[in-house]
Amino acid sequence: MCHVRHKASTVQAPAGRHKPVSGLADMPLWYETIAPIPPPDPMPAPLHCHLDFISPYGYFASLRLEAIAARHGRSVAWHPMLLGVAVMKVMGLKPLMDTPLKGDYVERDVRRYARERGVPMKRQPRDAVMNPLACARALAWTNRHEPERASAVVHAVYGAYWGQGLDLSTPDALAPVLGEALARAAAGEEAAALLRAEVDASLAQGVFGSPTVVVDGEPFWGVDKLEQLERWLARGGW
């Protein structure tokens, strides 16, 4: 089985269910952790993170967002979106790395961010981009059937794709990372329909980039907005 770079324990699944993805124990220093604040009753709404697995900035945000949420008694709900739909079809723009000048800057920026924080990066922004559908469908299916495992799916896929440089375009490639049963489910019609619903919902909320975190209806786009997002949580908005 292929795992993300960090050492991880295994999340046990109920008997008869698909093989579990990697757990999140023993995370290294580049993965932000902090003892959560006991949430008030009732539990406040989660932070809704919309992401595309081909986005390096989504990868970076996924390593920090749960710690931010925990500091404010929140959880994180992970939602797949597709940049190919939001950016290319709806906005009518070129892929980011094909945009003159901006693509060169993004490549430099991603490398710089990874070096600063010591984030594992075996893949670079200009490397061949995988088809993200299988991974996105796997997350959409998990959100419907086993939402408690969505976080583990996000970290396993991001770690395998960006951290280890694996191509996860097909169910066969995805199976060693998420388990054969979940990979098969991701190839089914139900998962495809669930992903379409997730993408439509993200567009309806005005989501166009990865990552976009929606906090009580307020959107924050980009990993560089996480500090502002945390100030928003601390103050209750402004």
- Separation CA 90–CA 83 (nearest Å): 10
Q: Under a CB-based contact definition with an 8 Å cutoff, are residues 132 and 138 in contact?
A: no
Active site residues: 55
From the CB of residue 204, how many other CB atoms can be counted at a distance below 10 Å? 8
Q: How far apart are CA 20 and CA 14, in angstroms?
A: 9
Find the DSSP H helices in the chain.
56-62, 65-71, 83, 102-117, 133-145, 150-158, 171-178, 180-186, 189-204, 226-235
- For the chain, how big is the Rg over CA atoms in Å? 17
Phi-psi region of 68 (alpha: psi -120 to 50; beta: other; left: phi over 0): alpha
Give the Cα separation of 119 and 197 in Å (integer).
32
The type of residue at 216 is: D
Which of 161, 198, 168 is CA-nearest to residue 182?
168
At 5, the amino acid letter reads R
